[in-house]
A and B are shown apart, each in its own frame.
Chain A
Amino acid sequence: MAEVKVKVQPPDADPVEVENRIIELCHQFPHGITDQVIQNEMPHIEAQQRAVAINRLLSMGQLDLLRSNTGLLYRIKDSQNAGPVSFFLSKMKGSDNQEKLVYQIIEDAGNKGIWSRDIRYKSNLPLTEINKILKNLESKKLIKAVKSVAASKKKVYMLYNLQPDRSVTGGAWYSDQDFESEFVEVLNQQCFKFLQTKAETARESKQNPMIQRNSSFASSHEVWKYICELGISKVELSMEDIETILNTLIYDGKVEMTIIAAKEGTVGSVDGHMKLYRAVNPIIPPTGLVRAPCGLCPVFDDCHEGGEISPSNCIYMTEWLEF
């Protein structure tokens, strides 16, 4: 500035007063106020003082800075956020704005978490900075890294106390990113046993075949209830989970499925149809080829008469003949 201006400070130019006024204004307009509005309200406050006041409020975490198409908006932070914010404040006292920014972005990602590259895009900070900040935040126990089950190298960051979303952890089948095969196996066997016993009882009732067949069916809802009652799963399983298990049984060839149209509202129906499952026997016994050692021989292609491996000196055959 070329000249030094001497200002007579009007009495209500006290910084705290200014801040309080701004806060009042924000409360009046919960959707946010622009700089223009503040200026209109307090025309005698200089832009610089305004800026100072606003900055202070921001750093204290009482105001939110938002961008709209008209310009910048200041919004009061509602009391819900006040709690963790004050906690946050006590932790964040020593950190700089960049960290705040990164924290903000992670918070916005909710329980799906956000990848470090995405944080970089959103904050326009260089990679090294980001990494430093992330490490910092992690040590302060504000955020945590969760390994995504889809790509095991990818880490998503989310707030410390949030429960990761199913798509990240893989849902009921994964515990700590490890596919729980034994759990799946156990469920598999339980479902199959349930269906088998149902088919058995139906067969023994010896009524006319239509009824027999229908009563050997179990809907996915029934199986789900049975498994829940068994209580072998510590994680809560939904009907879709049970259906995926039953599908694996179909691929094992032990169970068949039909879909029938069911009225909306009958228990267990989804979109107007129900899936029914039934235990079945395989249609042929193990085929002839596999009863001979040649069917299962791992060196089949190398075997020919007069060679090192030949039918005459086949050790598999010798073993098999000794049975």
Chain B
Amino acid sequence: MTQAEIKLCSLLLQEHFGEIVEKIGVHLIRTGSQPLRVIAHDTGTSLDQVKKALCVLIQHNLVIYQVHKRGVVEYEAQCSRVLRMLRYPRYIYTAKTLYSDTGELIVEELLLNGKMTMSAVVKKVADRLTETMEDGKTMDYAEVSNTFVRLADTHFVQRCPWVPATENSDPGPLPLAPILVISEKDMYLVPKLSLIGKGKRRRSSDEDAAGEPKAKRPKHNRDNKEPIPDDGIYWQANLDRFHQHFRDQAIVSAVANRMDQIFRSLPVGYNISKQVLDQYLTLLADDPLEFVGKSGDSGGGMYVINLHKALGSLATATLESVVQERFGSRCARIFRLVLQKKHLEQKQVEDFAMIPAKEAKDMLYKMLSGNFISLQEIPKTPDHAPSRTFYLYTVNILSAARMLLHRCYKSIANLIERRQFETKENKRLLEKSQRVEAIIASMQATGAEDAQLQEIEEMITVPERQQLETLKRNVNKLDASEIQVDETIFLLESYIESTMKRQ
């Protein structure tokens, strides 16, 4: 794990889970898998705290455990999984676009809690939805569970591995660490639950309908004590499926940009006439982008999507875009030229790109020091004399992608730090505004007059209000920027992964 990645993980863990978890998590990322006592010893935290921290991390699938020889259980942190936490907003947004608010809330709950049982999820989501609905309406459990089932069917949520039930009644020596198994087909099996009920609105006061709430509330409490029907069946969000979806989206939008047409997304059914479809497919196959290839004529022509090529093109486009923004469009021209022609001499670069020699040289060296381009030496004589050696410029996409990825990690870390800094700077102001809001809320509850409310509100002066506005805007901007950089990370990571798999 590179330094930048570790820093980023530490920032994320701190923001989401707090100091102790962060300490333990970072320690594990740095040192690989370790048993419990060693962790406690090295980090100087008490065993109890370490246990709690590890619980949190395991619950969120950030740490896995294994039984090693000599009966020691070791814990290992998954750095890449921690980095996924950056992508949570994107997952939630995707769920929203596909399954509307219900889906969005389900995924959000699952991501926030790591693992949950279905009934718990359904209940919570229903409660939340009911709150946002108008008075008098409530969210039916059935609707929520329907969405949940659909999510499971499309594999966006999956079951967590569980302990297999042992058949013999004699338990035998308990294993040091439970061995979790899960079979393919069980992963998306939704248990048959009959969840009947409606979402409950959280009431802050007992005002309206005086008699009813009091009667209902004791029952509500009793509900909690009933055994949950699907105890032990936990669900988690299936991140890989989301990634697949993102990848498809990226490819579709890339092709759409190229083709200037309205395109249906690939998994969804087509509703354009067959003839037009044929032509589109031919067009796609002929396109120089080479995303779609035709393999065989069975069934009137079989078309294949060349995923690796598609990812490669996307990664290349990302590199080109970075070169263009950083160094200028002439540099981008040289970069694309070397990319296409693979190896070029200095003189040839000038000729093809139609850029004066001095400028071309300058730009090539700039890109060289930025590690986008590398030099390949081809000696003419055995003694490698520089005057008698060919120097060819070339682009190694994989290494450039890795370099850019590293830079992305550091950039996000910078953005998060800046955001925290901004918040810290204005801590006093934020606290004040929070106090004022709390006062206003309590006063509204007890029925104060408008004049009094106004007085309280004026405790925050106008420039302070402006400052708060600016702060909010800045924090939002930084947040949005983090998500954007994460998109780049996604493209680059997918490309690197796909290339590594092929080798």
Hey, which bits of chain A sit against chain B, CB under 8 A? 173, 179, 181, 184, 188, 203, 208-210, 213, 244-245, 247-248, 250-253, 256-258, 280-284, 286-292, 294-296, 300, 303, 305, 310-312, 314, 317, 321
Task: Compute how far the CA of A173 lies from the CA of B332 in the bound complex, rounded to whole angstroms.
Answer: 21
Nearest Cβ on chain B to A151's Cβ, whole angstroms: 11
Q: Determine the chain A residues whose CB is within 8 A of the CB of B255 once the complex forms.
A: 283
Task: Compute how far the CA of A321 lies from the CA of B469 in the bound complex, rounded to whole angstroms.
Answer: 13
CB of B329 within 8 Å of the partner chain: yes
Nearest Cβ on chain A to B483's Cβ, whole angstroms: 8
- Which of B260, B357, B414, B484 is in CB contact (< 8 Å) with A291? B484
Nearest residue in B to A278 (C-beta to C-beta)?
Answer: B288
Contact call B355/A181, Cβ cutoff below 8 A: yes
Contact call A290/B414, Cβ cutoff below 8 A: no
Contact call B417/A311, Cβ cutoff below 8 A: yes
Stretch at the interface among B101-109, B128-136, B310-318: B310-318
Task: Compute how far the CA of A206 lies from the CA of B289 in the bound complex, rounded to whole angstroms.
Answer: 23
Contact call B283/A210, Cβ cutoff below 8 A: yes
Q: Determine the chain A residues whose CB is within 8 A of the CB of B410 once the complex forms.
A: 294, 300
Contact call A288/B257, Cβ cutoff below 8 A: no
- Which of B329, B357, B484 is in CB contact (< 8 Å) with A252? B329
Contact call A286/B414, Cβ cutoff below 8 A: no
Stretch at the interface among B54-62, B166-174, B212-220, B486-494: B486-494
Pick 12 A–B contacts, CB within 8 A, sort by A.
A184-B354, A210-B279, A213-B283, A248-B353, A252-B329, A281-B258, A283-B314, A284-B250, A295-B485, A296-B325, A300-B410, A321-B473
Nearest residue in B to A314 (C-beta to C-beta)?
Answer: B418
CB of B280 within 8 Å of the partner chain: yes
Contact call B318/A311, Cβ cutoff below 8 A: no
Nearest Cβ on chain A to B167's Cβ, whole angstroms: 53
CB of B399 within 8 Å of the partner chain: no
Nearest Cβ on chain B to A27's Cβ, whole angstroms: 51
Task: Compute how far the CA of A289 lies from the CA of B276 in the bound complex, rounded to whole angstroms.
Answer: 38
- Which of A173, A210, A248, A296 is in CB contact (< 8 Å) with B282? A210
Task: Compute how far the CA of A168 lies from the CA of B329 in the bound complex, rounded to whole angstroms.
Answer: 30
Nearest residue in A to B483 (C-beta to C-beta)?
Answer: A288
Chain B 42-59 interface 0/1 with A at a Cβ cutoff of 8 Å (1 = within): 000000000000000000
Q: Taking A173-B354, A282-B317, A312-B417 as contacts, is the C-beta distance between A292 and B411 under 8 angstroms? A: yes
Q: Determine the chain A residues whose CB is within 8 A of the CB of B354 once the complex forms.
A: 173, 181, 184, 188, 244-245, 248
Query: Secondary structure at chain A's binding surface: helix, strand, loop or mixed?
Result: helix
Nearest residue in A to B329 (C-beta to C-beta)?
Answer: A252
Nearest residue in A to B482 (C-beta to C-beta)?
Answer: A292
Nearest Cβ on chain A to B264's Cβ, whole angstroms: 14
Nearest Cβ on chain A to B491's Cβ, whole angstroms: 7
Contact call B314/A311, Cβ cutoff below 8 A: no
Contact call A311/B321, Cβ cutoff below 8 A: no
Contact call A290/B481, Cβ cutoff below 8 A: no
Nearest residue in B to A300 (C-beta to C-beta)?
Answer: B407
Nearest Cβ on chain A to B304's Cβ, whole angstroms: 19
Q: Determine the chain A residues whose CB is within 8 A of the CB of B326 once the complex forms.
A: 290, 295-296
Nearest residue in A to B321 (C-beta to C-beta)?
Answer: A287
Contact call B289/A283, Cβ cutoff below 8 A: yes
CB of B388 within 8 Å of the partner chain: no
Contact call B333/A288, Cβ cutoff below 8 A: no
Q: Determine the chain B residues whose CB is within 8 A of the CB of A179 once the complex forms.
A: 356-357
Q: Determine the chain A residues whose CB is within 8 A of the CB of B324 once the complex forms.
A: 286
Task: Compute how far the CA of A191 lies from the CA of B282 in the bound complex, rounded to whole angstroms.
Answer: 28
Nearest residue in A to B254 (C-beta to C-beta)?
Answer: A283
Q: Taking A203-B260, A244-B354 as contacts, is the C-beta distance between A284 and B254 under 8 angstroms? A: yes
Contact call B485/A292, Cβ cutoff below 8 A: yes
Contact call A252/B417, Cβ cutoff below 8 A: no
- Which of A281, A284, A292, A314 is in CB contact (< 8 Å) with B260? A281
Q: Determine the chain B residues whose CB is within 8 A of the CB of A294 once the complex forms.
A: 407, 410-411, 414-415, 485
Query: Secondary structure at chain B's binding surface: helix, strand, loop or mixed?
Result: helix
Among B459-503, those with CB < 8 Å from A are 473-474, 477-478, 481, 483-488, 491
Q: Determine the chain B residues whose CB is within 8 A of the CB of A295 once the complex forms.
A: 322, 325-326, 407, 411, 485
Task: Compute how far the CA of A28 lies from the CA of B318 in the bound complex, rounded to whole angstroms.
Answer: 78
CB of B110 within 8 Å of the partner chain: no
CB of B343 within 8 Å of the partner chain: no
Nearest Cβ on chain B to A318's Cβ, whole angstroms: 9
Task: Compute how far the CA of A257 lies from the CA of B325 in the bound complex, rounded to whole angstroms.
Answer: 25
Contact call B279/A251, Cβ cutoff below 8 A: no
Contact call B404/A284, Cβ cutoff below 8 A: no
Q: Taking A253-B320, A281-B260, A287-B487 as contacts, is the C-beta distance between A248 and B411 under 8 angstroms? A: no
Q: Determine the chain B residues whose CB is within 8 A of the CB of A311 once the complex forms.
A: 413-415, 417-418, 421
Question: Which 4 A-B pairs give the minimum distances between C-beta atoms?
Answer: A288-B484, A294-B411, A290-B325, A311-B414
Q: Determine the chain B residues whose CB is within 8 A of the CB of A208 once the complex forms.
A: 275-276, 279
CB of B444 within 8 Å of the partner chain: no
Contact call A283/B313, Cβ cutoff below 8 A: yes
Nearest Cβ on chain A to B126's Cβ, whole angstroms: 35
Contact call B484/A292, Cβ cutoff below 8 A: yes
Contact call A289/B260, Cβ cutoff below 8 A: no
Nearest residue in B to A321 (C-beta to C-beta)?
Answer: B474
Identify the interface centre among B260, B276, B353, B354: most chain A CB within 10 Å of its CB: B354
Contact call A256/B487, Cβ cutoff below 8 A: no
Q: Determine the chain A residues whose CB is within 8 A of the CB of B313 once the complex forms.
A: 283
- Which of B250, B336, B481, B484 is in CB contact (< 8 Å) with A253? B336
Nearest Cβ on chain A to B424's Cβ, whole angstroms: 9
Task: Compute how far the CA of A250 lies from the CA of B353 in the bound complex, rounded to whole angstroms.
Answer: 10
Nearest residue in A to B487 (C-beta to C-beta)?
Answer: A288
Identify the interface centre among A245, A251, A286, A300: most chain B CB within 10 Å of its CB: A251
Q: Determine the chain A residues whose CB is within 8 A of the CB of B280 once the complex forms.
A: 209
Task: Compute how far the CA of A312 lies from the CA of B414 in the bound complex, rounded to whole angstroms.
Answer: 8
Nearest Cβ on chain A to B366's Cβ, whole angstroms: 11
Task: Compute how far the CA of A253 lies from the CA of B324 in the bound complex, rounded to whole angstroms.
Answer: 11
CB of B261 within 8 Å of the partner chain: yes
Nearest residue in A to B314 (C-beta to C-beta)?
Answer: A284
Contact call A284/B321, Cβ cutoff below 8 A: yes
Q: Determine the chain B residues whose CB is within 8 A of the CB of A300 once the complex forms.
A: 407, 410
Nearest Cβ on chain A to B303's Cβ, whole angstroms: 15
Contact call A321/B322, Cβ cutoff below 8 A: no
Among B243-291, those with CB < 8 Å from A are 250, 253-255, 257-258, 260-261, 275-276, 279-280, 282-283, 286, 288-289
Nearest Cβ on chain A to B470's Cβ, whole angstroms: 8
Chain B 325-363 interface 0/1 with A at a Cβ cutoff of 8 Å (1 = within): 110010011101100100000000000111111000000
CB of B364 within 8 Å of the partner chain: no
